[in-house]
Structures are given as C-alpha cells and as structure tokens.
Amino acid sequence: MVVTGVLFVGVTGLVRYTGPVVPAAEAAFLRYAIGLVFLLPMLRPLLRMRLDARQIRIFAMRGAFHTIGVSLWFYAMVHISIQDVTAMNYLSPIYVTLAAAVFLKERLALRRIIAIGVALMGVMIVLRPGLRAIEPGHYAMLVATLAFGASYLLGKIASGIAPPAVVVAMLSVTVAIGLAPLAALDWVTPSWTALGLLALTALLATLGHYTMTLAFAAAPLTATQPVTFLQLIWATVLGVTVFDEAFDFWVMVGGSLILGAVVFITWREAVLNQRVTPAAGATKF
C-alpha cells in the first residue's frame, strides 16, 4: 500500500503537469486508450467470455459512471490544489456506505451514521464555505467521488458474475469508449512529450492497481486503509514543492477526519464479518 500510494501520487503529479496543455477529457481518454495496451494479456479470457444482457448492462452502467468520475477528476486536478483533490477523494467509501444502505438495504447502525457525520464534517472543513472560495473544481470532485462510489458498487456486483480479468478489462474498454466523444469535442493534437507523459501515467496507474491488489490479498482492509493517509501527505508535499501550491492545514485536518471515518467503517465491517463467519471447525457440523 505504501508503494501504491507513491504510484498514485505520481499519477496525480503527471496529470497536473499535462493539464495546461491537454484538455481534461482528452487527457483522460488518452490515459485509458494507452492503458489498453497493458491489458492485452487479458484479451483471451475476454474473447472467450460470452456476455449475457445483464452482464453487458452492468458493465455499461459501470463504464458510464466511471467515465463521469474520471472526466471530473481530471478537470479538478487542473483547477484546484492536489491537496484538495486527494483529501476529497477519500469520500468515495462514504458514498458507497450510504448507497449500500439505500439500494442494497444494508443496515446503517448508529456508529456508521456517526462516522458518516464525521466524514461530512471533514468535507466542510476542507471546503470551508464562506471562509474560502469554492471553485468549480471542488464541485467537480464532489460529483466525481459520487460517480466513483457508484462504479465501486457496480464493480462489486460485476465481480460476482464475471472473472476478475474480465471485470478489469471491461472497465478500461467501456471508459475508453465513453471518453472518446468527450475528447473529440475539444481535441488538441498532443505533442510527443505529452503522449509520453500520459503513457507513463497509464503505466503508473496500472502498476498502482496491481500493487493495491497484492496488498488486499496480503492483509485485511483494516490494515491497509490507514496507510492511504500517506497519499495525502505525499500529495501535499508534491503540490508545495513542485507546483508551488500553498499548504492548507485545514485541508489536512478535514482529510484526516474523512479518512478516519472510512477506517472506522472498514474496521466495523471486519468485526461484523468475523461475528457471522463460522469458526474453522464449525463448518464440519
């Protein structure tokens, strides 16, 4: 997870650097189009898979939500500080918790409600309406994290009806298709340097998802989630030292509250799962 954080912060820095010369939708499209090259090993299981109407519908819906999230994230990355983007990005699991209660009828206990309240308080500390200017990039991030949350829920459903390789490949394919018309609306011929940086962005993002998968396989979420706080620290250092952004103490405070709420909800889910999972010998009976 430490390596994952470094890789994702690298993605953030590269997107921020290319933002002024490549429009957001185009940069996002090129990142996913180039990233398809890294998915060639998954081509064979994808071609063997006979998708039914339900699977196609779920993959298409997930691609649509993820397309919205990626487009808005790339936009926010150019218009607000890296520190703000990283802190607000922690909101997605909170949206997932709320959506699971509304759409999947999961029970929302008082402790979860309090954790969600703490996370929303963290958002208010980050935005501080009335005390600082709320930029369009902040609104973009609020919607982006909502879209990513919807994509995550659909991803959980998709993982139950298709192999992991197919789920990953279909997300990349559908997002690339969804971003293509948005990129065409404001197309600027990229330089070879910009293409090289976006290719590096795709590589770092692919490696980041791979190392994150390794972390999830090696340890429970309760152990890996707190490490993601390092991303906020590294993103802040990157913004201050490389992009000459002002350090905002209150964004660190708000981001810490949001992440703390996420870690608590993750821990509670792990505890509840232990209660309902049979002990090793119990299944023999």
- Domains of the chain, by residue range, sit at 2-275
User: What is the predicted pLDDT for the residue at 184?
Assistant: 93
Amino acid at 199: A
- The Cα 148–Cα 233 span in angstroms is 22
User: What is the predicted pLDDT for the residue at 280?
Assistant: 34
> What pLDDT, in 10s, does the model give residues 7-38?
988 988 898 888 888 888 899 899 888 888 87
User: What is the predicted pLDDT for the residue at 168?
Assistant: 76
Per-residue pLDDT at 101 exceeds 70: yes
Confidence category of residue 51, pLDDT binned at 50, 70, 90: confident
User: What is the predicted pLDDT for the residue at 45?
Assistant: 67
Confidence category of residue 282, pLDDT binned at 50, 70, 90: very low
Distance from the first to the final alpha carbon of the chain: 38
User: What is the predicted pLDDT for the residue at 277?
Assistant: 34
For residues 82 and 57, the answer to whether their CB atoms sit within 8 Å is no
Amino acid at 233: I
Per-position b or e across 185-212, b if 16+ CB within 10 A of its CB = eeeeebeeebeebbbbbbbbbbbbbebb
Instruction: Name the residue with higher pLDDT: 194 or 97.
Output: 194
For residues 58 and 161, the answer to whether their CB atoms sit within 8 Å is yes
Give the range with max mean pLDDT: 86-100, 107-121, 212-226, 232-246: 232-246
Confidence category of residue 271, pLDDT binned at 50, 70, 90: low
User: What is the predicted pLDDT for the residue at 69?
Assistant: 92
115-118 LR contacts (CB < 8 Å, sep 24+): 115/261, 115/264, 115/265, 115/268, 116/261, 116/265, 118/257, 118/260, 118/261
Q: Which residues contact 126 (CB under 8 A, 6 or more apart)?
A: 84, 87, 88, 250, 251, 254, 255, 258
Where is 108: in which H helix or E strand? Answer: none
> What pLDDT, in 10s, does the model give residues 207-263?
887 787 777 667 766 677 677 778 888 888 888 888 888 888 888 888 888 888 888
For residues 96 and 152, the answer to whether their CB atoms sit within 8 Å is yes
User: What is the predicted pLDDT for the residue at 202?
Assistant: 87
Per-residue pLDDT at 198 exceeds 80: yes
> What pLDDT, in 10s, does the model give residues 141-194?
989 998 988 888 888 788 777 776 677 778 888 999 999 999 999 899 989 999
- The Cα 212–Cα 227 span in angstroms is 11
Least-confidence region, from 47-51, 107-111, 136-140, 174-178:
47-51
